[in-house]
Structure formats: structure tokens, C-alpha cells
Amino acid sequence: MYMKISIQNPDFNATAALTEFVELNVGKLSLLSDKILECRVSLKIDKSDTRENKICELKLVIPGQDLFASRQSNTFEEAVTQSIEAIRHQVERWKASLTNRRSRESIDTIEP
């Protein structure tokens, strides 16, 4: 199944290289599960005085449950990479909970 990727960057104009980086790396999330429908990426610049003012927010749309991660870093590439790692862990936990639920359901149907 094809995962739709939408990128929003309301605070600035993203370069083609940054957009390509996001699409390439976020696209790999579709390998984790065929149930992932869409990934919404929001790139923002925090108005603070710190150097770590680049924010990446990822929302993964999965039927019945959406997963969300947000990371702030010095560069957008770093924030994107960190957000993807956080989402990857959430997907793994989500898949494990599905497996556990299915195994409990099959045990419930076997027992009288």
C-alpha cells in the first residue's frame, strides 16, 4: 500500500534538498507496516534565541490510531531523523500490542 506524505512548512520556504531528504527518510516508515496511510510532516522555526530552533513534527495516520512525535534540534535534518526514530519506536510498540491482542483473542476462543 502506498503511504501519502504531506509536508508543511508555514514559517519558511523549504529547499528542494530538504524536501527530498524528508520524503526519502519518511518514506522508509512505510516499510514498517502496510497499515500506515499517511505521514504528515510539519517543519517549523521556533522564535526563541537558542540555536536549537528547528522543529519537526510527524503525525503517522493509521486506522484506529494516529502516532505523533516532535523533536527540536539545530538543523531540520537532525530534527527529522530524531522524529523518525521516535515514530519508529511507537510503530514497533503498536505492532507488538496488536500481536499481543491477537494472541489473547485466540486463547480466549480456545478456552471454554
Q: Which CATH architecture has domain 4-110?
A: 2-Layer Sandwich (3.30)
The pTM assigned to this predicted structure is 0.85
Percentage of the chain beyond pLDDT 70 is: 91
Higher confidence at residue 108 or residue 6?
6
Rounded average pLDDT over 9-25: 93
CA–CA separation, 92 and 32 (whole Å): 8
Question: 56: closest CA among 77, 70, 46?
Answer: 70
Instruction: Calculate the average pLDDT of the chain.
Output: 89
Whether pLDDT at 66 is above 80: yes
What are the residue ranges spanned by the domains of the chain? 4-110
According to the model, what pLDDT value does residue 68 have?
97
According to the model, what pLDDT value does residue 107 have?
65
